[in-house]
Chain A
């Protein structure tokens, strides 16, 4: 620490505090703390006295004392796959489940305990239910999920060797048994919420060293309390925009949900309770050359002081300490044209346990792989299933959540052995460029449906890692779509519109930008994301939106009404059988209307189509690709008062979701996720020369994307062919001799 700079810094900053008010500002480690009683001034008085807004000292002093007293601080569990806000419960549903969390330790913690605060469904039978806890792969104990009427905390001692400084992974493996019923439907009634803000490891405040791990841990602990990371910055939105990329990179180190960041004036830090960590960015003219530095503030907070003009220095320091971010679930690339086994895809052997099982393998296809026609892909399934499974037990093989095959698991002659490889062809156009899912979903009725499931030591099924997927090759083509642009985004290519900069919290920009750390090299083409507010819609233009702008704005005004989710596991198995037409006239009517609409949609113009699609829909946020001439420029329109956690979580890779934004317009609500609309004006782009070899498939993609462009010429050529043939026939008629 170069101490010579501090007096200079103090000299520079103190004039700003010319008034008597003493704000909780940049308090470096070796600077004297301001008197605590100054902080106790009434807020109204403070506001009246200072042009710098909001300085609430009320709780700062006690918390500061708390830290000073050395009361332990909870380092919370941070879910790798976030579900929502940091302080919400993290729900694990079903009979068998797994949840992974990261936990940042500032230094090695001997004798630490892992506290787990949970609340479970009353349906759980505690005698047969348990949560096995692993830390960095080491099982540290088992918790019985028996907190049914109120939150309860269980503590497990962690062996000293299990934890390490920095990033630790905590894995919870759930086994939940219904106390009354057994079966797939009963599985949906089983859940346990892990309250993240009260789960983790307690450490002494002194453990937070003034270094990168200490800072990271302190921020994580602060986030776990529901407090944002405060970034004190003096130059407003313009500076934030320039710093957003670097900030985003730092945010990405936290994994899971990027931290909420609150950009404040250096003199307007609200700290209730007192912060554990914060960032102060100094203007360049006041920045000593040895920044960034970690200092301890007067309130005990760790302060990262950095030069606002060189935010990349912060990113450099943090990244050098932690390396690149750890992707939540790295998705392997599947090379088309070559059979790839599950082992190749990193999935290994899949073991299914429980009565309702979903085992998913994710893989990624190149962005320039495009098959819109009904070519064949093939899954060669190596599997086996347990003996004596109840009658009616099924295994559904799904591609992107659409069933492609249904396997009975109650065939005695095949049970208990490795079944002969089963070839399952499926339409390649069920797959998309980008991330795809291969899911094995099993439904096993309860052996006695109205009793608790008997403990079963063997798995229901196993999918062996020799199972292969073969995807046909495709000409290098692409079609405009939001998810491709999203994948091409980098933190640098995310910005706020002018209106959004005024209306939205500035910290949202780096938070959203951090979602795209590590992207950019995957998808082709230039990409940019502008975060806007509904008023921006009228300025977008572009052929896609056209006259639908007002309808889009209306969609953001309508309050979303959550739809009841279908929880009947069997509903999709035998639903939609054709003979329902004989007794379910509603279904017939719906199907006919859907058929009519689908036909009409092909011929109808896209403008009215978007209008129709939007009718009655509501959105908290929407992603738009307004101009197909510039498909890389997309917009994210947000409601100004939106709590962004679920939105950000939905955009994070590894969420395992299928409802990622696609098409040209995608609406988001926390309950329904993303609902996408595809324009029929989408254009195909061929990235390789047209040859005899690829001509059929290239034309096939065009024909599938825009059927009239194929059907009309074909019928027209048939007509011309008929006329020519008729001419030949008339000319060659036999004449009377």
Chain B
């Protein structure tokens, strides 16, 4: 084996040297100045080759490397051309300064291109680990940190955690409550004190009911990291599973992950994807179709697999299994920055530990419901990552391999996008408003260099990420966040230690359309770019000699404006009804009248039902067309409201949950497809309902697999570009109307007395029944092995 390793290492070294020599030649060739015709021909050929090979990039490694190599050569040539040929003269220092800023931004994107190409060149999926005997499985502490989440939300997560398939004696579920710390319970503010004490008491009761350990600490120090570390002080499990409060685990979580830890003792982390049952506010407000992959899928389905290839998979804060020994080596969860997760991984990686990423979602959580919350969450991520870049720069961190440095650098530097994006957005305005020469280039060169460069960038992005990200959607997401995150990024670069952890609200409710209170920066940006278009039109008319330049820069600004106009839709909050709800289920049950009518035997007063949705506070049943019991009792719209019933789910794999659940009819609706009954869960039954929710809705990871890998559709480049162009164009009148009608809407709202509210945990009503649940569960196998039953 060692000989084989030696041969491999020698071969790799030789190949690497050969590649480096070849690369030097390519750099020289890429720097050669040629005629525009030659460049145009090169561009055409490169674009054609990439376009032809693009469909095979994901599945065929050779094609992937060839495409990336051709694209890389072209991008390198573009960058060298920009550097050597297109910068204005030093005699015009103002223009030169602006041009250098733009060039720096472009250089950054070029560097990111190469990093992205490298990291996504060979994404891996780890093979399944060897089965582990039950008696050999390590002990696991399941930590669920909480700060201000609702009891219902926590109940489901805790119930699901307790139901994770794992030997009971080897598993401990711990709620780490930072909302009920001693400091908060003794807070000088009476209201804060009261709420903290109530929260501590209710959660303690909840935990007791669910068999979960409740922990809290004296003071709220170092946010989530401090919370987890405080809990860890009292725990001794060999492994630690960290779950965010809204991240409900499936039962197979440990069965799918612990084996890797047992197999490789140097492994400190098994990270799994975060799956969300609701759509993020940008995705929702932009009106992206449900088949459009979620925003985080690009990271979890593609990039993290690439990071894992280079040993750079890192801790994402939740849905991750950690080795306690490794945590102890670095003093627990790191807390110097507000992204404790990646920071902890960086520290442990620097000690030589290894990590692994498993692309199988085993938690389901909640995205922030509003655009403002989303921005707050991303602001925290951006701040934390920039903190790490400034305080714990991986390039200078000892103990990391070169590949790991690049992985971390890629992940951290991504969050500089607000600055980069803002430069790209504003730079054309410097010319349109002030006439600054930011680019010394002819129309022919634009066609031969710049457009192919952009096109190749689009094609490579589409080739690598086409199945997880539609074209231009990344740009729209970044633009939507840019005006908000820019300040945080700049502030953090200037004062990296001056940042605070803000918990993202996850249990907001959105039941009506409204204009986000944080609309102003994005709207101002759109207005600025619109003014740029007007200035461009003026400049075109006023300066005939500059028309070629105005057309080029104006087209750039128009492109920017269209993207910003589309991104601006994000501030128009609107409730969402998914055609295919991610929490929708279809599980058999019996619905029983609690009080039998005279002459009926007790067993007879029931009907067959199908559970369509289940939450700790409400249940939705579908009765089909036959809603009549054997004795002729039926549920009628209006007449049955307030009726007390009992639900008995049919759960052959979880008979312990088949106990009748008392409910009250809230509403009955009938149509040609049958009868839909909405039922309220009594507060006293919330925990039981939570257990059922955890099992019925969140128990099966294959459900999330379906929504991640089967349901979404990729997009071709042309279709994607056309889609965004159409949406962008339509966004302009929509947004204008939205802004014009907003004052009237606010007046109407002010006159409404009742506040509508539904916990976010309750997903949209089930207009259509979901497909039958996938049959899968992780169980403790009869052969005394920890196995996954699919």
| CB–CB B29/A713 < 8 A | yes
B42 touches A (CB below 8 Å): yes
Q: Kindly state whether residue B311 has any CB partner on chain A within 8 Å.
A: yes
For the complex formed, measure the closest distance between the CB of A470 and the CB atoms of chain B, giving whole angstroms.
Answer: 11
Of B42, B85, B545, the contact of A408 (CB 8 Å cutoff): B545
Q: Mark B746-757, 1 if CB is under 8 A from A, else 0.
A: 000000000000
Cβ contact of B73, chosen from A695, A696, A718, cutoff 8 A: A718
Report yes or no: A723 in contact with B65, Cβ–Cβ below 8 A: yes
B507 to chain A, nearest CB (A): 40
**Which chain B residues border A715 with CB–CB below 8 Å?**
45-46, 49, 70, 73
Residue of B nearest to A603 (CB): B41
- Is A718 a contact of B26 with CB atoms below 8 Å? yes
Tell me the minimal C-beta distance from B41 to chain A in angstroms: 5
Instruction: Decide if B33 is an interface residue (CB 8 Å cutoff).
Output: yes
- Pick from A405, A699, A728, A734: contact of B16, CB below 8 A: A728
**Which one of B12, B16, B28, B34 contacts A374 once the chains associate, using CB atoms below 8 Å?**
B34
> Are A375 and B85 closer than 8 Å at their CB atoms?
yes
Question: Judging by beta carbons under 8 Å apart, are A710 and B18 in contact?
Answer: no
The answer to whether B62 has its CB under 8 Å from any CB of chain A is: yes
A residues within 8 A CB of B85?
A: 374-376
Enumerate A454-491 residues with CB–CB distance to B below 8 Å: none
B8 adjacent to chain A (CB < 8 Å): yes
Which residue in chain A gives the minimum CB-CB distance to B81? A374
| Contact present for A423 and B69 (CB under 8 Å) | no
Question: Which A residues lie within 8 Å of B440 (CB)?
Answer: 376, 425
Closest B residue by C-beta to A709: B38
Q: Is the pair B42, A717 in contact by a Cβ cutoff of 8 Å?
A: no
- A715–B61 CA distance with the chains assembled, in angstroms: 18
| Given the contacts A408-B543, A718-B69, A722-B66, A696 and B18 also touching, CB distance less than 8 Å | no
Given contacts A373-B34, A599-B44, A602-B41, contact A721 B28 (CB under 8 A): no
Chain B residues with Cβ under 8 A from A729's Cβ? 65, 121-122
Inter-chain contact total with CB atoms closer than 8 Å: 153
Give the docked Cα–Cα distance between A54 and B263 (Å): 116
CB of B41 within 8 A of CB of A427, answer no
Known contacts A602-B41, A715-B45, A733-B124: A724-B22 contact under CB 8 Å: yes
A672-717, CB < 8 A from B: 695-697, 699-700, 703-704, 707, 710-711, 713-715, 717
Q: Known: A728-B16, A729-B121. Contact between A714 and B22, CB under 8 A?
A: no
With a CB–CB cut-off of 8 A, which chain B residues contact A713? Answer: 29
Decide if A733 touches B122 in the complex (CB within 8 Å). yes
Is A427 within 8 A of B122, CB to CB?
no
Which residues of the partner chain A approach B31 to less than 8 Å between Cβ atoms? 696
From B15, B28, B39, B46, A728 is in contact (CB under 8 Å) with B15
Point out the residues of chain A lying under 8 angstroms from B311, CB to CB.
734
Once the chains bind, are B445 and A714 in contact (CB under 8 Å)?
A: no
Q: Which residue of B lies closest to A737 (CB)?
A: B264
A726 close to B127 (CB less than 8 A): no
Given A406-B544, A715-B70, A722-B65, the answer on whether A728 and B32 have CB atoms closer than 8 Å is no
Give complex CA distance A717, B22 in Å: 7
The one of B22, B38, B442 that contacts A710, using a Cβ cutoff of 8 Å:
B38
Known: A374-B85, A715-B49, A737-B263. A406 touches B545 (CB 8 A): yes
Q: Which residues of A contact B25 (CB under 8 A)?
A: 717
Query: How close is B318's CB to chain A, nearest CB, in angstroms?
Result: 25
Query: Most A CB atoms within 10 A — which of B16, B28, B29, B445?
Result: B29
In the complex, chain A residues whose CB is within 8 Å of the CB of B545: 394, 405-408
Chain A residues within 8 Å of B19, by CB = 721, 724-725, 728
Considering only residues 529-577 of chain B, those with a C-beta below 8 Å from chain A are 543-545, 547, 551
**Cβ-defined contact, B28 with A736, below 8 A:** no
> Are B22 and A720 in contact, CB atoms less than 8 angstroms apart?
yes
The answer to the question of A598 belonging to the interface, with a C-beta cut-off of 8 Å to chain B, is yes
Once bound together, how far apart are the Cα atoms of A291 and B24, in whole Å?
73
Nearest CB of B to A620, in Å: 31
How far does the alpha carbon of A602 sit from the alpha carbon of B42 in the complex, in Å? 12
Q: Is the CB of A726 within 8 A of B65?
A: yes
Decide yes or no whether B89 CB sits under 8 A from chain A: yes
The 0/1 profile, CB within 8 Å of B marked 1, for residues 369-392 of chain A is: 000111110000000000000000
> How far, in angstroms, from A38 to B35 measured CA to CA in the complex?
72
Q: Are A711 and B41 in contact, with the CB atoms below 8 A? A: yes
Residues of A within 8 A of B551 (CB): 578
Highest count of chain B CB atoms <10 Å: which of A394, A405, A717: A717
Within 30-61 of B, Cβ neighbours of A (below 8 Å) are at: 30-39, 41-42, 44-46, 49, 61
Partner of B8, one of A374, A598, A699, A731: A731
Q: Which of chain A's residues has its CB closest to B62's CB?
A: A726
Which listed residue (A408, A429, A721) contacts B69, Cβ 8 A? A721
Q: Is the CB of B38 within 8 A of A707?
A: yes
- Dominant secondary structure at the B interface: helix
A717 touches B35 (CB 8 A): no
Most buried by A among B33, B65, B440, B545: B33
> Within 8 Å CB of A726, what residues of B?
61-62, 65
User: Mask for A49-71, Cβ within 8 A of B = 1, else 0?
Assistant: 00000000000000000000000
In angstroms, Cα B443 to Cα A406, docked, is 14
Residues in chain B near residue A599, CB distance under 8 A: 41, 44
Q: Is A320 an interface residue (CB 8 A)?
A: no
- Alpha-carbon gap, A78 to B83, bound state (A): 55
Residues of chain B within 8 A (CB-CB) of A374 are: 33-36, 39, 85, 445
| In the assembled complex, A503 has its CB within 8 A of some CB on chain B | no
Question: B43: nearest residue on chain A (CB-CB)?
Answer: A711
Query: Are A719 and B66 in touch, CB under 8 angstroms?
Result: yes
Beta-carbon contact of A703 and B66 below 8 Å: no
Instruction: Please report which residues of chain B, range 424-467, place their CB below 8 angstroms from some CB of chain A when the two chains form the complex.
Output: 440, 442, 445
**Cα-based distance from A737 to B72 in the complex (angstroms):** 34
Set B22, B33, B41, B89: member contacting A721, Cβ < 8 A: B22
Closest to A712 in B: B45
Q: Is B175 an interface residue (CB 8 A)?
A: no
Please tell me if the beta carbons of A731 and B42 are within 8 angstroms of each other in the complex.
Answer: no
| A598 and B36 contact, CB distance less than 8 A | no
How distant is the Cα of A644 from the Cα of B122 in the complex, in angstroms?
A: 72
**A37 at interface (Cβ–Cβ under 8 A)?**
no
CA distance A277 to B662 in the complex (A): 133
- Bound-state Cα–Cα, A408 to B37, Å: 30
Q: Is A575 an interface residue (CB 8 A)?
A: no
Please tell me if B11 contacts chain A, counting CB pairs below 8 Å. yes
Known: A714-B73, A726-B65. A732 touches B12 (CB 8 A): yes
Indicate whether B68 reaches chain A with its CB closer than 8 angstroms. yes
Confirm or deny: B23 has a beta carbon within 8 angstroms of a beta carbon on chain A.
yes
Q: Which residue of B lies closest to A405 (CB)?
A: B545
Shortest B98–chain A CB gap in Å is 16
| Chain A 163-205: CB-based contact to B (< 8 A → 1; otherwise 0) | 0000000000000000000000000000000000000000000
> Once bound together, how far apart are the Cα atoms of A687 and B28, in whole Å?
22
In the complex, are the beta carbons of A696 and B33 less than 8 A apart? yes
Q: Which residues of B contact A15 (CB under 8 A)?
A: none
Residues of B within 8 Å of A323, CB to CB, are none
A residues 335-383 near B (Cβ < 8 Å) are 372-376
A704 and B37 contacting across the interface, CB-CB below 8 Å: yes
A725 and B42 in contact, given A700-B32, A715-B70 (Cβ under 8 angstroms): no
Minimal Cβ-Cβ distance residue in B for A696: B32
- In the complex, besides A373-B32, A726-B62, 5 extra interface pairs with C-beta distance below 8 angstroms are A703-B35, A710-B38, A717-B26, A721-B69, A724-B18
Q: List 9 A-B contacts (CB under 8 A).
A: A374-B36, A374-B445, A408-B543, A696-B28, A710-B32, A715-B49, A718-B66, A718-B73, A723-B62
Q: B: which residues have CB within 8 A of A?
A: 8, 11-12, 15-16, 18-19, 22-23, 25-26, 28-39, 41-42, 44-46, 49, 61-62, 65-66, 68-70, 72-73, 85, 89, 91-92, 121-122, 124, 127, 263-264, 309, 311, 440, 442, 445, 543-545, 547, 551
A residues at B contact (CB < 8 Å): 372-376, 394, 405-408, 423, 425, 427, 429, 578, 598-599, 602, 695-697, 699-700, 703-704, 707, 710-711, 713-715, 717-729, 731-734, 736-737
